[in-house]
Amino acid sequence: MAKDFPVKIEAHGFNFHYATKQALFDITLTIPERRVTAFIGPSGCGKSTFLRSMNRMNDLIDGTYVNGHLMIDGVDVYSKDVDVVTLRRRVGMVFQKSIPFPKSIYENITYGLTLNEKVSKSALDEIVETSLRKSALWDEVKDRLHHSAQGLSGGQQQRLCIARAVAINPEILLMDEPCSALDPISTGKVEELINELKDTYTIVLVTHNMQQAGRVSDYTGFFLLGSLIEFDRTRTLFTSPSQKETEDYITGRFG
Amino acid sequence: MSHPFQRSNIRPGEWIAEWSIRLVASVSIIVIFLIFVFVFREAATLFTAKSATNAPAEVSANPSSNDMKPDTYSEEPDVYNPEAEEPSTASGEPGAPGQFIRLSKNPRYPHYYNPDTGLLPDDIDDETAEEVATASGDSGDILSRLSGDTWQPVGETPKFSVLPLITGTLKTTVIAILIGAPLGILAALYVAFFAKPRVREFVKPTIELLAGFPSVVIGFFCLVTVASFIQDITGVSYRLNAMVGGIGLSLAVIPIVFSIAEDALSAVPKTLQEASLALGSTEWQTAYRVMLPAAAPGVFAAVLLGIGRAFGETMIAIMATGNAPLTSLSPFEPARTVAATIGSEMGEVVWGSEHYGVLFFMGVMLFVFSFGLNAITELYVKKRLMKKFQGR
């Protein structure tokens, strides 16, 4: 596969182990900057594990360890001198379940901003508005910014989580099945959003929905049993996969 | 005629189980209700019954007689020996402090003079007569004797001011909560979010074991060890004081606050923690800016239960506070709590007397206080807390 793009994330022989079993085997791939990259594959194939390795969310699980290299902008994220907190500010994440904090909409968005620095009220107001506009939520919530975020609908909550993630202005946005709990209309809105955000952010998306991968992504990787079977341009992967397993999966013969 | 949806036969096992559950549940509700009724009824006797129920026989018998009765001096029972014919020589050397010296100068009462108080028997007589008059009044006077600042339930003129007891309860409870709530909540935060699973498995049951610790043991520990320690570092003159009592109570409060707060914190979805960490917050920021507010109702309930335990705790309060009913706000002076008073005096009170009624009245006070605390929390504080922490 030709490297016809600036590289943002790069993995070389990356292995990931949970306490008792190995979840990822020898992953090698390059993820382009300011593109949408999707990972597909059946449940338990390791695509979420790989995604969560990128901002080291897997550190929360006891007994995990890695070997090989996983680099963002050429820096190994698992090297000893990496500050996890700074890493996570650069690599934002949106989860499968929308989980707004039990705070107001406004505070949900400003939470990440006010953690380490004092930001003026006017600057906060501005960031809240731009983040909500970016996530196409502004018009729906601008009159109730100080109401609880938990009163929003599921789709709105997920877009709020995206707004919350983009508010701290990361370089990479990891999305772990962001639409799996949403209805088709909300899903459409989130997908539109992904399309708009990819001008600014490098987006990595894990999805069970192959149509979604086909619709929104520029590159797609297919995972099976902890290995990366194939990684290519989305169009190529879906129309003329080079591997037998990929073809079987995308044509619905298993999975 | 039978059809597919016909009622099946009665299943006797389920029927018995269901009805025994109903029975036991109803009985327990009724019992709780009856306890309330009983306590309130006994307390009500204080206000409904006339002072005849007090039966202060020796009091009312006294002032009419011109002769000085020994009982009048019951406030100095050790000094004055009523059995002796010659009081001045009965209990040791003549002229020792607090003794009554034979003094022939007083025309009315030639025999007795108390050099400590400087009172001549006729002064005492006037004073006593006055107080007895108050004591034998009707229920309006009971209210007046509930005010004042002395708790002296046994004596010539019993004084039932609850002020020193309320002050004592307040002091020890505040100290106990100021120490216990932060420690309990911080320990809960640590165990819920920072401790390794192995540490958690060890620490949580250990602290909860402390909750089941006999309070008499905690009281003894404070009486012996904490009291000396506090005296050593502060040099206070009263070895047992409200501070020692408060520390003792906090030992009872901590496991309760810890246990309930920890449950509340652990019940917060782990996904919330992940979401916060993914935004680049440290674990500590996550714990106190996301997890603690999310668990705020539970943590608040934990503190409330802690307060309830602190002012309801009896044995530690009896043993470690010095148990002296002083009306003082200093934490380094002895204190006496309402619960400790009920606990130590209920056993020897005259059944049905005014003192008895006052003790029950204080029980009702405790109940109303805890009920009010919970009601205020439920109706008002919780809403505001929720709004503040959770933006509702």
Closest residue to B278, CB basis, from A88, A146, A148? A88
* Dist. CA A111–CA A95, nearest whole Å: 17
Nearest CA in chain A to B193: A60
Q: Which domain holds residue A74?
A: 7-99+169-250
Contacts of A114 in chain B (CB under 8 A): none
CATH code of the domain containing A23:
3.40.50.300
Q: What is the mean pLDDT of residues B216-232?
A: 92
* Dist. CA B296–CA A125, nearest whole Å: 27
CA B293 to chain CA mean position, Å: 31
Contact between A148 and B197 using a beta-carbon 8 Å cutoff? no
pLDDT at B80 over 60: no
Closest residue to B390, CB basis, from A89, A102, A115? A102
Tell me which residues of chain B, numbers 187 to 216, contact chain A at a CB-CB cutoff of 8 Å: 196-197
Closest residue to B280, CB basis, from A89, A104, A107? A89
Give a yes or no: residue A155 inside a domain.
Answer: no
End-to-end CA distance of chain B: 59
Nearest CA in chain A to B194: A60
B316 or B104, which is more confident? B316
Give the pLDDT band (50/70/90) at residue B63.
very low
pLDDT at B82 over 60: no
Contact between A89 and B282 using a beta-carbon 8 Å cutoff? no
Contacts of B299 in chain A (CB under 8 A): none
* Dist. CA B113–CA A117, nearest whole Å: 79
Q: What is the mean pLDDT of residues B147-170?
A: 83
* Dist. CA B150–CA B309, nearest whole Å: 26
Tell me the DSSP string of chain A.
----S-EEEEEEEEEEE-SSSEEEEEEEEEEETTSEEEEE-STTSSHHHHHHHHTTGGGGSTT-EEEEEEEETTEETTSTT--HHHHHHHEEEE-SS----SSBHHHHHHTTTTTTS---HHHHHHHHHHHHHHTT-HHHHGGGTTSBGGGS-HHHHHHHHHHHHHHT--SEEEEESTTTTS-HHHHHHHHHHHHHHTTTSEEEEE-S-HHHHHHH-SEEEEEETTEEEEEEEHHHHHHS-SSHHHHHHHTTS--
Supply the pLDDT for residue B65. Answer: 42
Supply the pLDDT for residue B93. Answer: 47
Q: Give the whole-number percent of chain B exceeding pLDDT 90.
A: 29
Nearest CA in chain B to A169: B279
Supply the pLDDT for residue B116. Answer: 60
Contact between A62 and B392 using a beta-carbon 8 Å cutoff? no
* A7, β-bridge pairs: A32
Give a yes or no: residue A144 inside a domain.
Answer: no
Give the pLDDT band (50/70/90) at residue B315.
very high
Among A129-133, A198-202, B309-313, B380-384, which is the least confidently predicted range? B380-384
Q: Give the whole-number percent of chain B exceeding pLDDT 70.
A: 72
B46-59 residue pLDDT tens: 777 654 444 444 44
Minimal CA separation from A118 to chain B, in Å: 14
Question: Residue B319: what residue type?
Answer: M
Nearest CA in chain B to A110: B279
Supply the pLDDT for residue B218. Answer: 92
Contacts of A101 in chain B (CB under 8 A): 272, 275-276, 290, 293-294
* Dist. CA A148–CA A162, nearest whole Å: 17
Q: What is the mean pLDDT of residues A176-182?
A: 86
* Dist. CA B269–CA A95, nearest whole Å: 13
How many structural domains are present in chain A? 1
Minimal CA separation from B168 to chain A, in Å: 39
* Dist. CA B362–CA A195, nearest whole Å: 70
Supply the pLDDT for residue B89. Answer: 43
Contact between A88 and B280 using a beta-carbon 8 Å cutoff? yes
Give the pLDDT band (50/70/90) at residue B189.
very high
Among B2-6, B174-178, B230-234, B308-312, which is the least confidently predicted range? B2-6
ipTM score assigned to the predicted complex:
0.88
Q: Is A165's Cβ below 8 Å from some Cβ in B?
A: yes
Q: Is B273's Cβ below 8 Å from some Cβ in A?
A: yes
Give a yes or no: residue A18 inside a domain.
Answer: yes
Give a yes or no: residue A153 inside a domain.
Answer: no
Supply the pLDDT for residue B79. Answer: 47
Supply the pLDDT for residue B110. Answer: 47
Supply the pLDDT for residue B133. Answer: 44
**Token couple for B127:** 């004073």
Q: Give the whole-number percent of chain A exceeding pLDDT 70.
A: 98
B21-31 residue pLDDT tens: 999 999 999 99
Supply the pLDDT for residue A198. Answer: 86
Q: Which helix (H) or strand (E) holds B234?
A: helix B227-234
Closest residue to A111, CB basis, from B279, B282, B294? B279
Closest residue to A101, CB basis, from B197, B272, B392? B272
Residue with tokens 């309320």: B166
* Dist. CA B126–CA B368, nearest whole Å: 40
Q: Which residues lie below 8 Å from residue A106, measured CB to CB, with a gap of 6+? A: A128, A145, A146, B391
pLDDT at B371 over 80: yes
Nearest CA in chain A to B292: A102
Contact between A103 and B293 using a beta-carbon 8 Å cutoff? yes
Q: Is A114's Cβ below 8 Å from some Cβ in B?
A: no
b/e map B301-334, b = 16+ CB within 10 Å: bbbbbbbbbbbbbbbbbbbbbbbbbbbbeebbbb
Contact between A102 and B277 using a beta-carbon 8 Å cutoff? no
Give the pLDDT band (50/70/90) at residue A255.
low
Pick the closest to residue A210 from A182, A159, A252 (CA basis).
A252
Supply the pLDDT for residue B142. Answer: 65
* Mean residue pLDDT across chain B: 78
pLDDT at B294 over 90: no
Give the pLDDT band (50/70/90) at residue B388.
low
* Mean residue pLDDT across chain A: 88
Give a yes or no: residue A130 inside a domain.
Answer: no
pLDDT at B154 over 60: yes
pLDDT at B184 over 90: yes
Supply the pLDDT for residue B43. Answer: 84
Q: Is A57's Cβ below 8 Å from some Cβ in B?
A: yes
Instruction: Name the burial class of residue B340, with classes exposed (0-12), middle (13-18) and buried (19+) by CB atoms within 10 angstroms of its CB.
Output: buried
Give a yes or no: residue A91 inside a domain.
Answer: yes
Q: Is A161's Cβ below 8 Å from some Cβ in B?
A: yes
Contact between B278 and A105 using a beta-carbon 8 Å cutoff? no
